[in-house]
Amino acid sequence: MTRLIVWRHGNTDWNATGRVQGQTDVPLNDLGRQQAVDAAELLVRLRPAAIVSSDLRRAADTAAALGALTGLSVRPDERLRERYFGPWQGLLMTEVAAQRPDEYARWTAGADVIGDDIETLDDMGKRMADAFADAAALAPGGTVVVATHGASARQGVLQLLGWPKEQIRTFRALQNCHWVELAHDESRGWQLAAYNVGPFTERPVPPPV
């Protein structure tokens, strides 16, 4: 059985403020870097045989935390980038809703096509599923970790499983530095084993001394 871990990157300042990142190359913030370390300490126990990452810094630096623990090099794959949001990128979601209300309405309704300059769900799902399959082929019978992005991760998982596109609306958003576990064998194909798994995002506050 091959195991594929689809891992969302750690937190960024744009995540924290609700700004649309898309394929803008936004770095991790201090919280995101700590989340990557905390998650890597759990993922290393799965004994990954290969690590593949989006080439955007927030995913690549998340993957590097696991690479440091395993000694594995991280293979970049630009197909694992986030959805391209065109003119939305850099805007707050509140600004998108105010400035581009028709596109925003289509997005909230889960439409495949939002606008001419925004990647469709179908195109994103296909490139992500292809990248996932190629990553899994690096270690048949082993564990492969793929560091990527929230929206693209969900759509790629849906496509890989062969589920109808309407099903995506039943998936909760992946939290930063949480992951999806998929398993594959020859008789059953791809199966969903776990979803939104990861470390606690907030550390407990120590009691006053």
Q: Is 76 within a domain? A: yes
Residue 185 Cα to chain centre, angstroms: 23
Does the annotation mark 78 as catalytic? Answer: no
Q: Establish whether 14 is an annotated binding residue.
A: yes
What is the residue range of 70's domain? 2-13+28-83+120-197
Does the annotation mark 202 as catalytic? Answer: no
- CATH code of 64's domain: 3.40.50.1240
The four Cα atoms 106, 107, 112, 113 give a dihedral, to 10 degrees, of 60
- CB-based contact 130:159 (threshold 8 Å): no
Residue 201 has pLDDT above 90, yes or no: no
Distance, CA of 188 to CA of 202 (rounded, Å): 37
Q: Is 113 within a domain? A: no
Domain count for the chain, please give it: 1
- For position 142, what pLDDT does the model report? 98
Q: Establish whether 176 is an annotated binding residue.
A: no
Q: Establish whether 196 is an annotated binding residue.
A: no
Given the residues 41, 78, 82, 103, select the one marked as catalytic: 82
Give the model confidence (pLDDT) of 34-54 as tens digits: 999 999 999 999 999 999 999
